């Protein structure tokens, strides 16, 4: 089953993305799209091979599965890991991972990322001329009055600043940017309007002037920044950064320590805090203390920041204390006397707690069942663990309609659903939030269980598939109805990815009739309805948020009650709930719950012995009464023949 599921996933996913890349050609080549379609075709042949038992088709399926794994999984994983290493300044490892990604998924855009990484490496080594020349050429193609020209100029200045080429940055800024900063009104719409250039560029240029010894110009820029930030709540970050840089280069360690206090600088890393204290001590003239702080900062840094610290340590013996002119002294006194900027409020990171909790509960329940009850592929274990058994629900065990969502049949069923819950749950929680995600998951799971109870021919049902289809349905309908709010998600192909997963899940269900499609369908419909009603993008979004909280809290309480019911209900308790009646099976009387039916009767052709079955309607228990001879007739006949 797992192999067929993988083949179906490759057929649908590679087919979809192959068509997408062939149609849009986002990277200017057909290679990636053609490889995707080839993998889909080979996996499709493998599916045919499973039906017709042709070895050559099976080999095609294995090739398609391997190709799909490289194109859809391993290549993107290597690419994502490369981005993380690049962000942490580990360029060499990132470069090797991108080489691997390009080998596994050629034509998927890895070449562009490799070019960007090469540019980062050049900047790290101070070689920014190729990038600067390309930007200058692009600037000349932009209309003279367009704001894009200034944006390009700011980017060029930041390239020089990122490469620690302070004098080049100052020269370029004085020629192309500083003239735009003169005679600006203080009542502009934004801080950029008031300063004339972007605040990050302004502050880094302020630092460049200070590092090259022009503290007077740095002081004038600091004074302008103070005036521009007055009364602006959104300017705290830039005011904090500007004061810290200016006071550090002016040699004011006490003032810098106040600014980098963790309560006021939560947006800074410990290495950055230590570094700026070291800079302040260096320009104050306390070289020994500065060396200690630089070493502390170095031990917490890597990449370019560590290179900058190494340069500072190398220049430390030749450093003199900062000499402040009257202009700089006046600005320093004004900045030190000013009230500190309000603490920087960082946006709260919304971790997918609901997804973590649901995934942990699914895995935790499976672990408890394995430890305390037995293998979950055993029908008796499923009955004891809370699977949905129609006869037991009829007899009053209503809680099985909820507990069955957390019970799975065997390890493959568990792994597939746990992966689905984790990845799809994160998508849903990013859109709907924690409470509404729990509400949608539990509501869709309950709807799937009820549909299975009412309509499915399968007497025993377990698994989170109905809830997963509900998650799919809710995310799908939200992205479809409110496409304008989720342009980034559409650009990432999230909508198409959800469609692929939905079709793949449904396809595996049609291949295997034992899978409960009633639960899948009802869960999907419930997810669509709940996603529409609880949507954060509609007029009644506030009411939906409150409803989501209420449903989530109530659902968690009910799940806790259900857990208690499972713990206190044994198999004997479940089987003893209905009235017991007597069944006469040939010459034997059997006492069993009412509603059981006599199964087939058969007569063994040679011995003429009868066999009778008594069957539980849910097929959990089958009692077989068979007549067996008291002697081995084969041995007896052999003895008769030998005597004769």
Active site residues: 465, 520
Angstrom distance (rounded) from CA 242 to CA 219: 10
Cβ–Cβ under 8 Å, residues 282 and 319 = yes
Tokens of 637: 């006949």
Angstrom distance (rounded) from CA 578 to CA 157: 82
Residues in CB range of 578: below 8 A, 6 or more apart: 391, 395, 593, 594, 595
Instruction: Classify residue 443 by burial, with Cβ atoms within 10 Å: 0-12, 13-18, 19+.
Output: buried
Give me the residues paired with residue 584 across strands: 589
Phi, psi dihedrals of residue 599, rounded to the nearest 5° = -85, -150
Report the SS3 class of residue 388: strand
Cβ–Cβ under 8 Å, residues 239 and 341 = yes
Residues in CB range of 36: below 8 A, 6 or more apart: 14, 15, 17, 18, 21, 71
Give me the residues paired with residue 623 across strands: 614
Can you list the alpha helix ranges (DSSP code H) found in 321-409?
Answer: 326-337, 353-372, 379-385, 390-394, 400-403
Buried b (16+ CB within 10 A) or exposed e, 335-353: beeeeebeeeeeeeeeebe
The DSSP call for residue 69 is I
The DSSP call for residue 216 is H
What does the DSSP assignment read for 551-605?
HHHHHHHHHHHHHHHHHH--HHHHHHSSPEEEEEETTEEEEEETT-EEEEEEE-T
Dihedral of the alpha carbons of 419, 425, 427, 432, in degrees to the nearest 10: 180
Bin 129: left if φ > 0, else alpha if -120 < ψ < 50, else beta: alpha
- How many CA atoms, within 13 angstroms, populate the side-chain half-sphere of residue 255? 25
Q: Tell me whether strands 622-626 and 580-585 are parallel, antiparallel or unpaired.
A: unpaired
Tokens of 438: 């729990």
Angstrom distance (rounded) from CA 239 to CA 216: 18
Angstrom distance (rounded) from CA 389 to CA 577: 13
Q: Tell me whether strands 597-603 and 610-615 are parallel, antiparallel or unpaired.
A: antiparallel
- Nearest alpha carbon to residue 48 among 511, 500, 416: 511
What does the DSSP assignment read for 419-468?
HHHHHHHHHHHHHH-HHHHHHHHHHHHHHHHHHHHHH-S-SEE--SHHHH
């Amino acid at each position: 089953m797992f192999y067929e599921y993988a083949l179906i996933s490759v057929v649908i996913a590679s087919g979809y993305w192959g068509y997408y890349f062939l149609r849009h050609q986002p990277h200017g080549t057909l290679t990636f799209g053609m490889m995707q379609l080839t993998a889909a075709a080979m996996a499709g042949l493998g599916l045919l091979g499973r039906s017709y038992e042709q070895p050559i088709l099976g080999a095609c399926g294995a090739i398609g599965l391997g190709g799909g794994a490289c194109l859809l999984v391993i290549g993107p994983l290597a690419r994502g890991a490369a981005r993380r290493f690049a962000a942490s300044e580990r360029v060499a490892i990132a470069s090797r991972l991108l080489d691997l990604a390009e080998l596994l998924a050629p034509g998927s855009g890895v070449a562009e990322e490799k070019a960007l990484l090469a540019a980062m490496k050049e900047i790290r080594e101070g070689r920014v001329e190729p990038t600067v020349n390309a930007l200058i050429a692009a600037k000349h193609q932009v209309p003279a009055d367009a704001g894009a020209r200034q944006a390009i100029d700011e980017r060029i200045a930041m390239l020089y600043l990122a490469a620690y080429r302070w004098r080049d940055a100052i020269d370029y800024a004085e020629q192309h940017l500083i003239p735009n900063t003169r005679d600006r009104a203080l009542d502009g719409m934004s801080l950029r309007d008031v300063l004339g250039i972007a605040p990050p560029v302004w502050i880094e240029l302020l630092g460049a002037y200070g590092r090259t010894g022009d503290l007077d110009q740095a002081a004038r820029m600091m004074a302008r920044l103070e005036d521009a930030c007055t009364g602006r709540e959104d300017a705290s970050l830039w005011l904090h950064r500007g004061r810290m840089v200016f006071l550090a280069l002016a040699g004011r360690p006490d003032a810098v320590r106040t600014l980098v206090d963790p309560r006021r600088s939560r947006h800074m890393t410990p290495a950055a805090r230590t570094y700026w204290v070291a800079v302040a001590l260096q320009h104050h003239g306390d070289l020994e203390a500065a060396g200690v702080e630089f070493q502390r900062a170095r031990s917490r840094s890597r990449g370019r920041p560590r290179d900058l610290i190494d340069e500072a340590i190398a220049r430390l013996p030749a450093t003199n204390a900062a000499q402040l002119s009257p202009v700089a002294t006046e600005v320093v006194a004004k900045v030190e006397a000013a009230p500190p900027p309000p603490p920087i409020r960082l946006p709260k990171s919304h971790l997918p707690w609901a997804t973590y909790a649901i995934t942990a509960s699914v895995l935790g329940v499976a672990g408890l069942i394995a430890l305390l009850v037995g293998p979950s592929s055993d029908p008796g274990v499923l009955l004891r663990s809370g699977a949905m058994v129609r006869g037991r629900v009829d007899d009053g065990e209503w809680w099985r309609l909820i507990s069955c969502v957390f019970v799975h049949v065997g390890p493959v069923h568990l792994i597939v659903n746990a992966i689905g819950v984790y990845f799809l749950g994160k998508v849903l929680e990013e859109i709907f939030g924690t409470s509404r995600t729990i509400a949608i998951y539990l509501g869709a799971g309950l709807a799937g269980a009820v549909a299975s109870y009412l309509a499915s021919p399968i007497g025993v049902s377990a698994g989170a598939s109905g809830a997963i289809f509900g998650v799919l349905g809710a995310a799908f309908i939200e992205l479809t109805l409110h496409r304008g709010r989720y342009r980034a998600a559409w650009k990432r192909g999230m909508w198409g990815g959800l469609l692929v997963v939905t079709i793949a899940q449904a396809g595996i269900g049609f291949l295997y009739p034992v899978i409960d499609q009633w639960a899948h369908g009802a869960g999907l419909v419930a997810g669509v309805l709940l996603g529409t009603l609880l949507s954060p993008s509609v007029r009644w979004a506030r009411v939906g948020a409150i409803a989501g909280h209420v449903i989530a809290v109530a659902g968690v309480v009910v799940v806790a009650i259900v857990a208690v019911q499972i713990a206190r209900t044994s198999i004997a308790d479940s089987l003893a709930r209905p009235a017991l009646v007597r069944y006469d099976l040939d010459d034997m009387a059997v006492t069993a719950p009412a509603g059981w039916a006599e199964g087939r009767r058969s007569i063994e052709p040679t011995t003429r012995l009868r066999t009778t079955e008594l069957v539980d309607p849910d097929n959990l228990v089958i009692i077989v009464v068979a007549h067996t001879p008291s002697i081995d007739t084969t041995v007896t006949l052999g003895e008769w023949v030998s005597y004769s």
